Structure formats: structure tokens, C-alpha cells
Amino acid sequence: MSQSLYERLGGSEGITAIANDVVDNHMVNSAISQRFQDSDLDKLKHAAATFFITGTGGPEVYEGKDMLSAHKGMNISATEFMGVLDDALLALAKNNIAQREQEEVLFVLYSMRPHIVHV
């Protein structure tokens, strides 16, 4: 039996490190950093980690909104969305995640585009 994406990303500990790096990347990404200026970074990192843990086959720990509800009315552009994907890929690479897993994560993230961009 093959391991879940959750397991291949290092379980909760590995995913939390990746999520923290994604949020840190957002804060220095000029395309999207303004979206997060007034955010509670610890809360944002926790939400990103638990969403990612649950979404990759780990324990059901995410208690936040679904993607459409979370992004409705924010008018997120395609450019901003691509900035988020770039930040995620940078975080995955920083955490030495293999190419196959990076592609799987990118596929999952991109599949959420209709629930995030211009909603």
C-alpha cells in the first residue's frame, strides 16, 4: 500500500513547517503581501497547516471555512492566485519535498481556483 500525500509530506510536523514557510513567503511576495498586512500570522499559519493536514489525507483537524466562503467578496485576481502557488512551490522546495509530491500539491491547490479567483 502506498503512503498518503500527508505521510509523504512528513505528517503533521512536516506539513506545519511547509505551511509556516508558505505564509512567510506570502508576507514578502509583493503581489499578495498587502492581503495579509492586518492578519494574525500565528492564526493564519495554524489555519493553513490544519487545512493542508486535512486536505492531504491526515487527521480531520481543519475547522475553518470552505474555500468559497473564505474568499467570497475578496476579488482575488489570477495573478494573486498564481503568487500563492509560487509561494507554495518555494516552501515545498525549501522543505526538500520531491517533485512528485510538489506536483500533487500543485494539482490540489490549482483545483481550488474556481472557489478563490474572482468570487
For 58-67, b where at least 16 C-beta lie within 10 A, e where not — what string? beeebeeeeb
8 Å CB contact between 115 and 98: no
pTM beyond 0.75: the answer is yes
**Spatial separation of the C-alpha atoms in residues 76 and 109, rounded to whole Å:** 15
pLDDT for the residue numbered 56: 95
pLDDT for the residue numbered 15: 98
Q: Averaged over 59-82, what is the pLDDT?
A: 95
Asked whether residue 1 carries a pLDDT value surpassing 80, the answer given is no
- Please report, for residues 8, 65, 83, 112, the alpha-carbon distance to residue 93 in angstroms, rounded to integers and kept in the order given: 14, 28, 15, 21
Q: Which three cell numbers stand for residue 20?
A: 509556516
